[in-house]
């Protein structure tokens, strides 16, 4: 899971649980028996197993379940075994992935004027982080600012580095200092590399009033060529300080990354679906089974993986016969750039795309300092709508938490979890989220409890993301909403699908090659 930040608090008002559409007048699905059967204790049995797998299969002395490691392979074997015991026919979908990990410590420092060694972000403090798929190198060179734009209250206000022309006159060998904005981080880095930059510092955009546009930036360059160019991401305050210093004179920084890309790693998605139900209205329920290399990933995303597994087991035990087929998918390669979900959607035929009525994404459901966050499917609060039908999914989550007297907030579709490929292909999507590395604000404490000034998950992408990093209360509240949505869409006779058009806010381009959609 990548970073998200809630922006608006939603009011809690009692509303009906029925899905909008032709069958809106029908009685809502009674999801309580399944919600009662899917327990925190049952899910935590799976989390105990996943942490045990990570610790029994360390990679470079670190307990991990990252794609391409024995811990991930063993995690897949565990899920397959449990599903098979529950009576499911399980398939795997193999694909190749390029995997990035750091072999040695990275560094980011200002060497002049007034030298300072910047603290690497550790989930609690720090101002920078290594970009995924950064190139190797240890560079100490002057900084050149690329097309900086003063932030306002609108996200993606800056197009810095998005065009080769932004680097006109760039001094070959200097370090490019580039603001976040309207294009992929990889586009900025490739343009900087072509202009002769020896390293790149990407800093957050600084959007007024938006914490996610000011906090530490953790970029991914998956799919782009950063070879030979070390890249780090930092927060807006650090980036702006460097911008101001560069205006006043020469600023020199050190950027060092010792990384490695293991190319062509064989991995696979794990897929199980209910034997019955309408295949032309399949409900896809997804979570990612991989962790980062830095730890066992028990909240991120063992929590979502355990929720899927326990729900599948209990649906079988209760002999639930869904109206619509439910397809559970444990994706690989999410932490390396949503590779498993991208691959899955790229292999769908036109008919396969149109047969999926909804995609429910469950990534990080038990953050210790949690919030209750729902993706803004219709875009009315954040301006980034999913395909038609995504608003219906959003409303199902809202209605459920309303019925429980629980407050929530919405977050935008920002392309940072496995729903992304589905929305780009025109498939309605949604999900819930308990929060990652962003800081809980004082106004959120009365809504959710917890501690202001501390990250939702201070162990995000860290070694400490283990069983001690699970909030049972938050896990229950999120699993209840998740299970309710799964069964609601499994049993609805309403048409959830929208059009076959992707999100108008998509950052990626898709085309048809024969019967397959490809990037």
Q: Element (H or E) spanning 233, and its range?
A: strand 231-234
Residue 27 pLDDT: 67
Alpha helices in 86-219 (DSSP H): 185-194
**Contact (Cβ atoms closer than 8 angstroms) between residue 75 and residue 288:** no
What would the mean pLDDT of 69-85 be, rounded to a whole number?
Answer: 98
Query: What tens digit of pLDDT does each residue of 392-433 get?
Result: 999 999 999 999 999 999 999 988 899 999 999 999 999 999
pLDDT in tens, 117-158: 999 987 678 999 999 899 999 999 999 999 999 999 887 789
Q: What is the pLDDT of residue 351?
A: 96
pLDDT > 50? residue 31: yes
Q: Which residue has the higher pLDDT, 9 or 415?
A: 415
Q: Rounded mean pLDDT of 10-20?
A: 32
Please report which confidence band the pLDDT of residue 261 belongs to, taking 50, 70 and 90 as the band edges. confident
- Beta strands 175-179; 137-146: pairing state: parallel
Question: Would you place residue 28 in the very low, low, confident or very high pLDDT band (cuts 50, 70, 90)?
Answer: confident
Tell me how many degrees the CA angle 101-107-108 measures, rounded to the nearest 5: 125
Mean pLDDT in residue range 173-199: 97
> 212 or 250: whose pLDDT is higher?
250
Q: What is the DSSP letter of 132?
A: B
pLDDT score recorded for residue 8 = 32
* Lowest pLDDT segment from 9-13, 175-179, 208-212, 316-320: 9-13
Sign of torsion, CA 470 474 479 485? negative
First and final C-alpha spacing in the chain: 22
What's phi and psi for 394, nearest 5 deg? -55, -45
Instruction: Return the structure tokens found at 248.
Output: 């006043």
Burial class (CB in 10 A: 0-12, 13-18, 19+), 105: exposed
Is the model's pLDDT at 360 over the cut of 70?
Answer: yes
Answer whether 486's CB lies under 8 Å from 326's CB: yes
CATH of span 8-99+263-518? 3.40.630.10
pLDDT at position 492 over 70: yes
pLDDT at residue 515 is higher than 50: no
Assigned token pair, 44: 């935590």
CB 435 within 8 A of CB 365: no
Tracing tokens 């939702």 back to the chain, one arrives at: 456
Selected residue with higher pLDDT from 398 and 28? 398
pLDDT at residue 432, rounded to an integer: 98
The CA-atom distances, in angstroms, between 21 and each of 17, 392, 496, 501 are 12, 9, 8, 20
The dihedrals phi and psi of 379, each to the nearest 5 degrees, come to 75, 10
Residue with tokens 């004179």: 249
CB of 305 within 8 A of CB of 71? no
What pLDDT, on the 0 to 100 scale, is given for residue 416?
A: 83
Q: What is the pLDDT of residue 123?
A: 66
Pairing mode of beta strands 107-112, 116-117: antiparallel
What CA–CA distance (Å, rounded) separates 519 from 507? 11
Burial bucket for residue 125 (CB in 10 Å: 0-12, 13-18, 19+):
exposed
294, 313, 334, 394: the catalytic one is 334
pLDDT at residue 66 in the model: 95
CA–CA separation, 319 vs 62, rounded Å?
40
Angle between helices 70-85 and 303-317 (to 10 degrees): 20
Under the banding of pLDDT at 50, 70 and 90, the label for residue 497 is: low
Q: Where are the beta strands (DSSP E) in 60-190?
A: 90-102, 107-112, 116-117, 128-130, 137-146, 175-179
Q: Predicted confidence band at 519 (pLDDT cuts at 50, 70, 90)?
A: very low
- Annotated catalytic residue 334: yes
DSSP H or E segment with residue 271: strand 259-273
Rounded distance, CA 193 to CA 167, Å? 10
pLDDT score at 505: 40
In this structure, of 25-39, 248-262, 490-504, the range with the lowest mean pLDDT score is 490-504
Question: Is the pLDDT confidence value at 503 over 70?
Answer: no
DSSP 8-class letter at 381: T
Tokens linked to 205:
């955009």
> Is residue 517 scored above 90 in pLDDT?
no
What is the edge-to-edge ordering of all strands in the sheet holding 356-362? 8-10, 408-411, 373-375, 429-433, 356-362, 278-288, 324-331, 259-273, 90-102
* Banded pLDDT at 188 (limits 50, 70, 90): very high
- What is the reported pLDDT for 119? 97
Q: Where are the alpha helices (DSSP H) in 22-69?
A: 32-37, 40-56
Are 9 and 446 a contacting pair, CB within 8 Å?
A: no
437 falls in which pLDDT band (50, 70, 90)? confident
What CATH number labels 105-257? Answer: 3.50.30.30
Rounded Cα–Cα distance for residues 210 and 122 (Å)? 21
Q: Three-state SS for 424?
A: helix
pLDDT of residue 191: 98
Domain ranges of the chain: 8-99+263-518, 105-257
| pLDDT value for 366 | 98
pTM for this prediction: 0.80
> How sure is the predictor about 267, in pLDDT bands with cuts at 50, 70 and 90?
very high
How far from the centroid of its chain's Cα atoms is residue 122's Cα? 18
pLDDT of residue 23: 36
Residue (of 178, 96, 187, 210) closest to 507 by Cα position: 187
pLDDT band at 384 (very low <50, low <70, confident <90, very high): confident
C-alpha closest to that of 430 among 449, 446, 417 = 417
C-alpha pair distances (Å), 128 with each of 4, 102, 215, 334, 358: 17, 15, 9, 21, 36
Share of the chain above pLDDT 70, in %: 90
For residues 217 and 203, is the Cβ–Cβ distance under 8 A? Answer: yes
3-state SS class at 438: coil
Q: Tens of pLDDT along 221-249? A: 988 999 999 999 999 999 999 999 999 99
Q: What is the mean pLDDT of residues 287-314?
A: 97
d(CA 82, CA 80): 6
**CA pair distance 81, 312, nearest whole angstrom:** 13
Provide the pLDDT for residue 260.
85
pLDDT for the residue 463:
92
C-alpha 348/C-alpha 421 separation (Å) is: 11
Whether residue 11 has pLDDT greater than 50: no
Q: Are 353 and 517 in contact (CB under 8 A)?
A: yes
């Amino acid at each position: 899971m990548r970073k998200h930040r809630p922006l608006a608090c939603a009011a809690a008002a009692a509303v009906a649980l029925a899905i909008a559409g032709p069958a809106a007048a029908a009685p809502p699905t009674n999801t309580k028996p399944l919600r009662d059967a899917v327990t925190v204790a049952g899910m935590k049995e799976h989390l105990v197993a996943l942490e045990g797998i990570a610790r029994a299969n360390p990679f470079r002395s670190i307990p991990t379940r990252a794609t391409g490691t024995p811990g991930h392979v063993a995690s897949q074997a565990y899920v397959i075994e449990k599903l098979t015991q529950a009576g499911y026919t399980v398939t795997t979908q193999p694909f190749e992935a390029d995997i990035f990990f750091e072999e040695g410590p990275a560094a980011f420092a200002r060497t002049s004027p007034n030298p300072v060694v910047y603290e690497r972000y550790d989930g609690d403090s720090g101002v920078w982080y290594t970009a995924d798929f950064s190139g190797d190198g240890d560079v100490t060179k002057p900084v050149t600012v690329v097309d900086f734009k003063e932030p306002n209250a609108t996200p993606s206000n800056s197009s810095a580095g998005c065009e080769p022309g932004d680097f006109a006159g760039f001094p070959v060998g200097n370090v490019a200092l580039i603001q976040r904005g309207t294009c992929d981080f990889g586009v900025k880095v490739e343009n900087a590399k072509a202009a002769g930059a020896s390293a790149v510092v990407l800093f957050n955009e600084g959007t007024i009033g938006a914490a996610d546009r000011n906090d530490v930036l953790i970029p991914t360059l998956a799919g782009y060529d950063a070879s030979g160019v070390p890249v780090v991401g930092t927060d807006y305050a650090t980036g702006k300080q460097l911008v101001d210093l560069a205006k006043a004179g020469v600023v020199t920084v050190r950027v060092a990354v010792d990384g490695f890309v293991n190319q062509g790693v064989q991995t696979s998605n794990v897929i199980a679906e209910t034997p019955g139900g309408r295949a032309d209205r399949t409900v896809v329920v997804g979570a990612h089974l991989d962790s980062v290399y830095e730890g066992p990933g028990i909240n991120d995303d063992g929590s979502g993986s355990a929720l899927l597994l326990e729900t599948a087991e209990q649906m079988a035990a209760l002999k639930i016969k869904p109206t619509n087929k439910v397809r559970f998918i444990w994706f690989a390669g999410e932490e390396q750039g949503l590779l498993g979900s991208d691959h899955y959607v790229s292999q769908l035929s036109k008919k396969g795309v149109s047969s999926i009525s909804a995609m429910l994404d469950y990534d990080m459901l038990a953050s210790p300092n949690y919030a209750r966050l729902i993706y803004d499917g219709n875009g009315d609060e954040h301006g980034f709508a999913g395909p038609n039908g995504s608003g219906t999914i959003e409303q199902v989550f809202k209605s459920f938490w309303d019925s429980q007297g629980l407050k929530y907030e919405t977050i935008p579709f920002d392309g940072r979890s496995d729903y992304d490929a589905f929305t780009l292909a025109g498939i309605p999507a949604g999900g819930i989220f308990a929060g990652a590395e962003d800081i809980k604000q004082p106004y959120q404490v009365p809504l959710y409890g917890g501690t202001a000034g501390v990250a939702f998950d201070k162990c995000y992408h860290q070694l400490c993301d283990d069983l001690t990093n699970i909030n049972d209360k938050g896990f229950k509240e999120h699993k209840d909403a998740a299970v309710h949505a799964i069964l609601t869409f499994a049993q609805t006779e309403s048409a959830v699908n929208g059009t076959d058009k992707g999100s108008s806010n998509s950052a990626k381009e898709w085309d048809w090659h024969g019967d397959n959609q490809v990037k």
